[in-house]
Amino acid sequence: MSSVPVLPIDSGRYGSVESKAIFTEESRLKYMLEVEAAVANAEASLRLIPLKAAKEIALKSNVKLVSYEKWKEIEKTTKHETASLVEALVSVVSDESKPWVHYGLTSQDILDTSLSLQLKDYIELIEGKLKNLILLLGKNAEKYLSLTSVGRTHGQHASIISFGQKFAVWADDCMLHMNRLSEIRPRVMMCKTLGVVGNGSVIGSKALEVMEITASKLGLYPVSSATQVVSRENYAEFVWWCALVASTCDKIATEFRNLSRTEISEFEEEFSKDQIGSSAVPSKRNPISCEKISSLARLLRSLPTVALENIPLWHERDLTNSANERFIIPMSAILLDDVLDTLLKVLAKMVIREDMVKANIEITMGQVYSEFVLDVLLKKEISRSEAHKILREVSSKSRSKGIQFKSAIMEDERINRLISEDELNRIFIPEAHIEGSQAIIKGTLKRIKEKLGK
C-alpha cells in the first residue's frame, strides 16, 4: 500500500516549499546537531571540555554522519528522540570524545534551542513577505489616491472616501505587525543550555557564560532564566502573532469578498482562461482565493488557545505541551506563509472596476452627501439637533418619492433659504470630500518609505 499524506499541508496544498522545508524532521535534525556543535565549542572555549573533543564533535555533528535514518532507527529502541540523537552522535566520534557529547545538557536544551533556530529562519522568510505585502498595499493606495468611492458602515453607505484609503489602512496595520515581530524576536529566538532543571547544575558557575557564547554563535538570545524548558509564554506569543497577521489578511480578503458581490462589483479576483467557477453555473466567478484566506485565518485564530494552555506546566516541566506544539507551531508558521502568499497573488492580479466604484456613489441618489449638507447647515448657525432632524425628514421624503436627495433639499424651504443652489451643487461633487483621505494616504506612503526605504 502506497503512503499518502494525511494532512493537506503534507500534500503540497498549503504552504510554500521554503516554509515547509524549515519544519521538516530532517531539518530539525540539522538544527539539533548545530546546537550540539555550538555548545561543545562554547564549553571548550571555557576549558570545560577538551578542545580536541569539541572540534571532533562539531565536525561530526552533521546529517551525513548522523543521518535521519540512523537517528530514527535508534529511536525505535530508545523511544526518546534526543537520547537517540546523542547515541547516534556518540557512535561516530572517537572514544576520547564520547564523554563530552551533550555535556551538561538536557534534552529540552536541544529541543527548545533548535526550535529557536527554526523560528529564526522562518522569521527571516516571513518578514520578507510581510515587507512585500506592505509595498504592494502602498502601491495600490497611491494608485487609487484620487478615486472617489463610498465609505460604508454597517454595510450601508455612509460618506465619501478615497478608494486608496482602504489600502493605506491595511499597509499601516501590516507595518505594526512588523514592529511586533521585531519586539517578539528576542523572546522567540531563545537559547537555553542550562541543564535538567534550568540551574546549570553540571556546569556550575560558568553555565550562563556557556549559554551566552552558544547563543552568540547561533545568532540567538540567551534566556534570562528557565526551568527545564523555555517559558511557553514565548511560543504562545509567536502563535498569537501568526494569528493576528492572518486576521488582518482575513480583514482584507473579507473586504474584497464583499466588494466582489454581484450587487457591488467593484473587485474581481483573477480568473484564468480555463478556470471553472461552478460545476453547475458556467458563468460564475467566485472569490475563492480570498475565501481560502478567511478559512485558514479561522484555523490560525484557534491555535493560540492551545498555546496558552501550554504555559502552566507541572513544577520544572512536564510533557503536556510537547505533542501539541509539534502541530501548532509549524501549522501557525506554514499556514500564515500560505495566507500571505495567497494575498500577494490576489493583490498582484486583481481587477478594481473603477467604473463601478464611481457608479456606486450614486446608488443612494445623493444621500451619501448628507454629512456634508449637515456641516453647511451647522455653519449657518442652526443647532445640530434641528439640522439633523430636518435632514432626516428630507431623507425620508427622498426615499419615499424616489427622487434625488438634492432635489428634495431644494424643495425644502427650511434649507433652501439658507443654502444657495451653487453651494448645494458644490456639496454634491465627490472629489470635494477626499482631501482628508488623500492626506492620510500620503502620510502612510511616507511611513512606508521611511520604514522600508522604498
What percent of the residues of the chain are helix, what percent strand, and what percent coil, each to the nearest 5? 65, 5, 30
Give the mean pLDDT of 193-202.
94
Buried b / exposed e across 260-296, counting CB within 10 Å, b at 16+?
A: beeebebbbbebeeeeeeeeeeeeebbbebbebbbeb
All three cell numbers of 141, joined, read 493606495
Interatomic CA distance for residues 78 and 93, integer angstroms: 20
Which amino acid makes up residue 230?
V
pLDDT in tens, 10-55: 888 899 999 999 999 999 999 999 999 999 999 999 999 999 999 9
Q: Is the pLDDT of residue 247 over 90?
A: yes
Band the pLDDT of 284: cuts 50, 70, 90.
low
| Closest to 191 measured CA to CA, from 114, 121, 123 | 114
Between 1.10.275.10, 1.10.1740.10, 3.40.640.10, 1.10.490.10, what CATH number should domain 8-100 receive? 1.10.275.10
Residue 122 has pLDDT above 70, yes or no: yes
Residue in 154, 205, 315, 385 annotated catalytic: 154
DSSP 222: E
- CATH topology (fold) of 107-360: Fumarase C; Chain A, domain 2 (1.20.200)
Residue in 181, 166, 169, 183 with CA at minimum distance from that of residue 129: 181
**pLDDT for 270:** 81
pLDDT of residue 220: 98
How far apart (Å, rounded) are the C-alpha atoms in residues 200 and 92?
A: 27
Closest among 196, 192, 199, 181 to 222, alpha carbons compared: 192
Within a 13 Å sphere around the CA of 261, how many CA atoms are in the beta-carbon half? 8
Residues whose CB is less than 8 angstroms from the CB of residue 61 and which lie 6 or more positions away in sequence, other chains included: 33, 34, 36, 37, 40, 89
pLDDT digits (tens, 9 = 90+) for 126-156: 999 999 999 999 999 999 999 999 999 999 9
* Residues making up the chain, counted from first to last: 454
- DSSP-assigned letters across all residues of 264-332: T--EE----TT--S-SS-TT----HHHHHHHHHHHHHHHHHHHHHHTS--STT--STTHHHHHHHHHHH
Q: What's the rounded mean pLDDT across residues 441-450?
A: 97
Q: Hey, what's the cell of 324?
A: 501539541
- pLDDT band per the 50, 70, 90 thresholds, residue 287: very high
Q: Cα separation of 121 and 283, whole Å?
A: 44
Identify any residues that bridge with 221 across adjacent strands, giving them in sequence order: 190
Nearest CA to 357 out of 248, 268, 254, 251 is that of 268
| Annotated catalytic residue, options 278, 302, 383, 420 | 278
Residue 304 three-state SS: helix
Give the residue extent of every domain in the chain: 8-100, 107-360, 367-427
Question: How far apart (Å, rounded) are the C-alpha atoms in residues 57 and 36?
Answer: 8
- How would residue 162 be classed by pLDDT, with cut points 50, 70 and 90? very high
For the record, the C-alpha cell of 18 comes out as 521554503
Say which CATH class 367-427 falls into.
mainly alpha
Q: How far apart are CA 162 and CA 151, in angstroms?
A: 8
At residue 280 the predicted structure's pLDDT band, cuts being 50, 70 and 90, is: low
Mean pLDDT of the chain: 94
Average pLDDT of span 379-395 = 92
278 is catalytic: yes
